[in-house]
Structure 1
């Protein structure tokens, strides 16, 4: 009976050790993927910021062009259509 009890204790300790190792590996994997995810989110945010700035500049250019055409009595919408049709 003592021998069986000792075998159970040894097996129990071995299993507990394996569980600790697996938890450690899981934590390492989670940290790895969290770090990669954070990096990806950062790059996406940078790209989004760049695109928003580019859109603002484009909008400003279009407004300025429309204003210039208006000052010279040129229909901006017709001009845009003619440019798009010529492409």
Structure 2
């Protein structure tokens, strides 16, 4: 998405890990050896991560999806916001 010039924000439940990924531009826990594009913005605040989004990609493990959706329900969003679920398991 970043390569296609889309603005992309990544939210996660662990702000310290987001800060580490922002600093190193890597996610060595889950994507060893993959460099994260400079254009990707890390955002510890879910509302800010979703602000101005046209599409929200849900890429959490399925056992955490209910909790994530509960958090998303509290975030202001346009009625036509598109959610794409890519959860596994």
For the criterion TM > 0.5, the same-fold answer is: no
**Structure with the greater relative contact order (CA < 8 A, sep ≥ 6): 1 or 2?**
2
TM-score normalised by structure 1 residue count: 0.20
Answer with 1 or 2: which has the greater Rg.
1
Q: Kindly indicate which of the two structures has a greater share of residues assigned to helix.
A: 1
Q: Give the TM-score normalised by structure 2.
A: 0.20
